[in-house]
Amino acid sequence: MEDLETLRAELMSAVEAASDPAALEEVRVSALGKKGRVTALMKALGGMDPEQRKAFGQEMNRVKAAVAEAIDQRRAALEAAALDARLERERIDVTLPVRPESTGSIHPISQTWDEVVAIFAQMGFAIAEGPDIEDDFHNFTALNFPPDHPAREMHDTFFLPERADGTRHVLRTHTSPVQIRTLLGQKPPVRVLAPGRTYRSDSDMTHTPMFHQFEGLVIDQSTHMGHLKGCLQEFVEAYFEVDNVPMRFRPSFFPFTEPSAEVDIGCSRKGGELRIGAGDDWLEILGCGMVHPNVLRACGLDPAEYQGFAFGMGLERIAMLKYGIPDLRTFFESDLRWLRHYGFGALDVPTLHGGLGR
Ligand code: PHE
């Protein structure tokens, strides 16, 4: 009985001394485990006479229960302390300001694209598309380019390697092939705007090998040059957000329009600052004309029945004019500082009623 009391005292102080769950588990195994000290004494009960066994057994059970309970309590205390320590360690200060996050911006090309689409959509134009890689027929032949036209030379056009049948595809040099694709695919009346990438073998301050154009095409039985002028006047005033912009048509030449014109708008360059709509200077912004009878014929339309206009304009050019971007090449350099300066808010979607530019 005395030994039992000593054992109890020893185990209890071992439990108290266990400073973490692993140490406590060791104590439990050494006391109550299969080869533990309490278990060993229980086994010894078998060799005692009945009187002794009864008294000793009762006392044994009391010791065993007391030790087991002490272990449970100690375990709960250790777990609570561990949780407290962790809560202390992982404390979050919810009053700290949020970390700065960099917001993206819309590239001026995308912005200008959306603005122009918004304006022509309002005038009832549908969007048309064509591939960047074109065949000779759509890029040149159907557009009435003569076989010896300089645009068919290497120095202007990117040609793809010759194919088995001897023909060579090109990176489209303008969006005008979409005129052909549209007229071959649908019967007039046609009123489409074709925005897209175009390519020319050219690179300096004012030319990049890839750039963007907008093609406009209107074909029906009565559309004439007056409509062309009115449409462009409307566009220029909406796009530059200026009323009564002076506009003039200068005679020009394109194989696929007759007559052809280049369009200038009035501006002033006083004090080195470009202002659209005022002053006595002129600025060229696009090419246009009445669709050539040969183009209509190439698309299976009778020029005696159908007529209409087409125009093509450089997207980068009108973006530079509106947003004061001096160098064309910067559009494609992917310089984040440039983008932050010239970029647009991602949620400011341009509309005619909500405002186009910034
Ligand atoms: N495709 C011409 C160019 O790239 C522009 C244009 C389009 C002119 C439509 C007239 C009509 O220069």
DSSP string, 89-124: HT---TTSPPPP-PPP-B-HHHHHHHHHHHHHHHTT
pLDDT at 311: 98
pLDDT above 70 covers a percentage of the chain that reads: 99
β 257-268/275-276 pair status: antiparallel
| CA of residue 261 to ligand 1 center, whole Å | 10
| CA of residue 306 to ligand 1 center, whole Å | 20
Q: What is the CA radius of gyration of the chain?
A: 43
| pLDDT tens per residue across span 207-243 | 899 999 999 999 999 999 999 999 999 999 999 999 9
Q: Please identify, by atom number, the ligand 1 atom nearest to the C-alpha of residue 286.
A: 5
| pLDDT tens per residue across span 31-45 | 888 888 888 888 888
| CA of residue 209 to ligand 1 center, whole Å | 17
* Residue with the larger pLDDT of the pair 349 and 316: 316
**3 state DSSP class of 147:** coil
Choosing from 182, 235, 256 the residue with most ligand 1 atoms within 8 A of its CB, the one to mutate for a pocket test is 256
| pLDDT tens per residue across span 266-314 | 998 888 788 888 878 999 999 999 999 999 999 999 999 999 999 999 9
pTM exceeding 0.75:
no
| pLDDT tens per residue across span 95-150 | 999 888 888 899 999 999 999 999 999 999 999 999 999 999 999 999 999 888 88
Q: What are the domain boundaries of the chain?
A: 2-89, 108-342
The yes-or-no verdict on residue 154 having pLDDT over 80 is no
| CA of residue 178 to ligand 1 center, whole Å | 11
The domain defined by 108-342 folds into BirA Bifunctional Protein; domain 2 (3.30.930)
| CA of residue 150 to ligand 1 center, whole Å | 15
- Quote the distance between the C-alpha of residue 299 and its chain's center: 37
Residues 6+ apart with CB under 8 A from 64: 32, 38, 42
| pLDDT tens per residue across span 46-92 | 888 888 888 888 888 888 899 999 999 999 999 999 999 999 999 88
**Model confidence at 358, in pLDDT bands (50, 70, 90)?**
low
pLDDT at 44: 81
Contact between 75 and 24 (Cβ < 8 Å): yes
As for ligand 1, residues whose beta carbon falls within 6 Å of it are 174, 176, 215, 254, 257, 287-289, 310-312
Distance, in Å, from the CA atom of 157 to the CA atom of 152, rounded to the nearest integer, reads 7
Contact between 18 and 24 (Cβ < 8 Å): yes
Residues 6+ apart with CB under 8 A from 181: 128, 130, 138
Which residue, chain included where needed, has tokens 């040099």? 173
Binding-site residue set for Mg(2+): 258
Residue whose CA is closest, atom 7 of ligand 1? 312
- Ramachandran area for residue 246 (φ above 0: left; ψ -120 to 50: alpha; else beta): beta
pLDDT at 291: 98
* Residue with the larger pLDDT of the pair 312 and 357: 312
Distance, in Å, from the CA atom of 92 to the CA atom of 10, rounded to the nearest integer, reads 43
Distance, in Å, from the CA atom of 30 to the CA atom of 13, rounded to the nearest integer, reads 13
